[in-house]
Copies of this chain bind each other. A is one copy, B any other.
């Protein structure tokens, strides 16, 4: 999951489970805190998240970290480059996964439909990452966090009477490293959204969006 431009209709196709004539490999499970793979590992499988949330990270030599993406249900993770994984991947919650052999992406291996679906997922990934560039390079802290909450609300928000509720399984520093901020700035920005009565923070991991329209216009850069 990347932070895409909220105004444009999000491409939802990836959320559907990939159809396949091939008998499915047994579902994989991962406990919260377990790693699915590490940077440098050889890629054998791609995975579609069935339930739960993954976190993909890259590290710089000096310890600076970038969260590349969060893997939400429907997302496909593990695209190889030069046969290798280029991120670490950790489960933020218990996770269920549908594995697909890498060969299904790379040479079809007798199931053209699955091959095509995986390829389309990779192409959507490129487009979503382009949107995320805009977010990292050109948006303010408030716009970044508002955009992030908007995307999550749309993807995994639950209706709660008139409002919408989001569960955040990741820490503040995960959010910071995803949006290119510090934990302090993320925390302050949450407080600011709370004080302007746009959100309420039920507990650290549960956000209720009180004024979705206000949040959306913050995300799009309408000043305050």
Contact = CB atoms under 8 A, between A and B. Distances in A.
Interface in A122-139: 122-134, 136-138
B126 A125 contact: yes
A64 B138 contact: yes
B180 A123 contact: no
Interface in A20-69: 58, 60-62, 64-66, 68
Query: Taking the full assembly, how many copies of this chain does it contain?
Result: 2
B138 A81 contact: no
Contacts of A66: 133-134, 137-138
A60 B133 contact: no
Given A11-B82, A136-B137, A138-B180, A220 B61 contact: yes
A170 interface: no
A14 B98 CA distance: 31
Interface in A79-113: 79-82, 86-87, 105-108, 112
A5 interface: yes
A127 B68 contact: no
A119 interface: yes
Interface residues of A, number: 46
A166 to B, nearest CB: 22
B180 A137 contact: yes
Interface of A: 5, 7, 11, 13, 58, 60-62, 64-66, 68, 79-82, 86-87, 105-108, 112, 116, 119, 122-134, 136-138, 177, 179-180, 220-221
Q: Give me the 8 closest cross-chain CB pairs, A-B, nearest first.
A: A137-B180, A81-B127, A136-B136, A66-B134, A129-B129, A86-B127, A64-B138, A136-B137
16 contacts: A7-B61, A61-B220, A62-B220, A64-B138, A66-B134, A86-B127, A86-B131, A105-B119, A107-B112, A107-B116, A119-B122, A122-B123, A122-B126, A126-B129, A133-B136, A136-B180
